[in-house]
């Protein structure tokens, strides 16, 4: 069964943050869930920045994001599709996102305008071993996932951590190819 993101999750939930051993953080605030993950990618900040700036490349390290495309008439807006099999069901959600004003080599952020309600950012900072990326995503739990309650946030947390590890590997390959 495929679910649509246009249904709203009922109720409001609040909770204290939960920290995991991998540096991810989860917090529920007013019906929204916030997850955070961090990685140090062994690449210059310019490489990491350029990869994230091109939203169409994101499915390379976020396999649950099946597509990202820019709107033809406005390159600050992107159409996203998330497709995943979880809890024995197929879920597909889509949304239109607006890029917020970036701070070059420091911060990329966005918020959804329609569809799955979400917002987030990726912060970049130089580290001796490369570039530290801190990704934070907040989202309203879609109605079809509400019955899975407490399992949703840890699942998203583990997905984000794995995504950033894949980004680290992907960006390292790109940096090596650029240096040849």
Query: What is the percent of the chain where pLDDT is above 90?
Result: 64
* Beta carbons of 7 and 144 less than 8 angstroms apart: yes
How far is it, in rounded angstroms, from Cα 170 to Cα 10?
38
Query: What is the percent of the chain where pLDDT is above 70?
Result: 82
pLDDT at 150: 75
Mean of the per-residue pLDDT values for the chain?
84
Over residues 23-81, the pLDDT tens digits come to 444 444 447 889 999 999 999 999 999 999 999 999 999 999 999 999 999 999 999 99
| pTM of this prediction exceeds 0.85 | no
Q: How confident is the model at residue 2 (pLDDT cuts 50, 70, 90)?
A: very low
How far is it, in rounded angstroms, from Cα 93 to Cα 76?
20
Q: Which residues pair with 27 in a beta bridge?
A: 34
pLDDT at 156: 86
Please, what are the domains in the chain? 18-179 (3.30.530.20)
pLDDT at 142: 76
How far is it, in rounded angstroms, from Cα 160 to Cα 153?
10
């Amino acid at each position: 069964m495929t679910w649509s993101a246009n249904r709203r999750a009922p109720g409001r939930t609040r909770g204290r943050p939960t920290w995991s051993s991998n540096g991810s953080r989860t917090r529920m605030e007013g019906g929204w869930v916030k997850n955070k993950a961090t990685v140090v990618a062994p690449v210059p900040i310019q490489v990491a920045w350029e990869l994230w700036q091109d939203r169409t490349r994101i499915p390379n390290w976020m396999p649950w994001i099946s597509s990202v495309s820019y709107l033809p008439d406005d390159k600050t807006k992107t159409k996203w599709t998330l497709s995943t099999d979880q809890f024995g069901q197929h879920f597909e959600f889509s949304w239109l996102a607006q890029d917020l004003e970036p701070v070059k080599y420091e911060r990329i952020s966005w918020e959804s305008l329609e569809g799955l309600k979400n917002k987030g950012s990726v912060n970049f900072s130089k580290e001796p071993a490369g570039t530290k990326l801190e990704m934070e995503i907040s989202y309203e739990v879609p109605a079809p996932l509400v019955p899975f309650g407490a399992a949703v946030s840890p699942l998203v947390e583990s997905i984000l951590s794995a995504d950033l590890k894949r980004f680290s590997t992907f960006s390292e390959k790109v940096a090596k190819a650029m240096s040849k």
